[in-house]
Amino acid sequence: MPFYYTASTWAGAGQSAAVTTAVTSTLGVWNSWIDAATTSSTNCIWAAWTADEIEARRQELREFEEKRKASGDRASALLLHYLDERQRADLAAHRWFLVDGKSGVRYRIKRGDLVGNIEVLNPDGSVRHRLCGHDRQIGLPLDDQLLAQKFYLEHHEDEFLRIANRH
Amino acid sequence: MNGEMETLDSTGHTRTTWDSENSAEVEAARGQFDVLTRKGYKAFRVKRDGGEGEPMKSFDPEAEKMILVPPLQGG
């Protein structure tokens, strides 16, 4: 994978003069980069990563994935802790669980894509419409998002209905 | 008595504990609670077994367990 450098960042990285070519098209730049390892247009340069750099990026990616999995596992465990037996069974079987608001309205919180993942149910179980409301600042793992939605719907239903987008 | 507060965050959650007889620990937990609730976090008193929760407005050092939920926004 190549890095993208401007002339100034290339110099800032302690590199000497860039190898230049007369290539100006995108395809030409790629072909030239593949052939010659480095190429440039008039004011930027593509440079190949060294083997050490590639390994460093791979290690970063591995560590990121490990942290992401660990945080997801912690969130899942916490969510399950706060669900009752019926909710846990529904989540396992259908990837959703039901929550009752103080208004008497029943909500179905679906695990998956967070966009419109809350279904507002009619008394007969049909879907009236969908709601979209979640954390957008902290970067909560998915199951923490579901837990937050559950607490909001159970205890701050009116506020949640005000802030959530309706689909 | 030992209290416990779980704050939802990017790691899954962070757990804060205190001994209600230890004023330094209580004040540290109270400070964290106050900072987060001022930022719009919702606090809930919950049971250790995960049973039904209830909203709380202020820190209670005698609470068995609390959970703090960050503010949600329309998506």
Same domain, A82 and A136: yes
Query: Is A151 at the interface with chain B, CB within 8 A?
Result: yes
Question: Is the CB of residue B24 less than 8 Å from the CB of residue B61?
Answer: no
Q: Is residue A54 part of a domain?
A: no
A146 burial via Cβ count (<10 Å: 0-12, 13-18, 19+) = buried
Integer Cα distance of A103 and A105 in angstroms:
5
The percentage of residues in chain A with a pLDDT greater than 70, rounded to a whole number, is 72
Range of the domain at A11: 2-48
* A18 part of a folded domain: yes
End-to-end CA distance of chain A: 41
Which is more confidently placed, A113 or A12? A113
Judge if A40 and A79 occupy the same domain.
no
Using a CB–CB cutoff of 8 Å, tell me whether A79 touches chain B.
no
Rounded to an integer, the average pLDDT of A57-73 is: 94
Look at residue A1 in the predicted model and tell me its pLDDT.
46
What kind of architecture, by CATH, is found in domain B2-69?
A: Roll (3.10)
Same domain, A96 and A120: yes
Could B70 and A78 be called an inter-chain contact, meaning their C-beta atoms sit closer than 8 Å?
Answer: no
Cβ atoms < 10 Å from Cβ of B70: 23
Note the ipTM here. 0.93
**Whether residue A74 sits in one domain with residue A18:** no
Of B6, B72, B75, the CB nearest to A152: B72
A140 in reach of chain B (CB within 8 A): yes
A96 in the same domain as A133: yes
Q: Is residue A53, in this structure, part of any structural domain at all?
A: no
Domain ranges of chain B: 2-69
Domains held by chain A: number: 2
The answer to whether position A26 is within a domain reads: yes
Q: Are B53 and A84 in contact (CB under 8 A)?
A: no
* pTM assigned to the model: 0.77
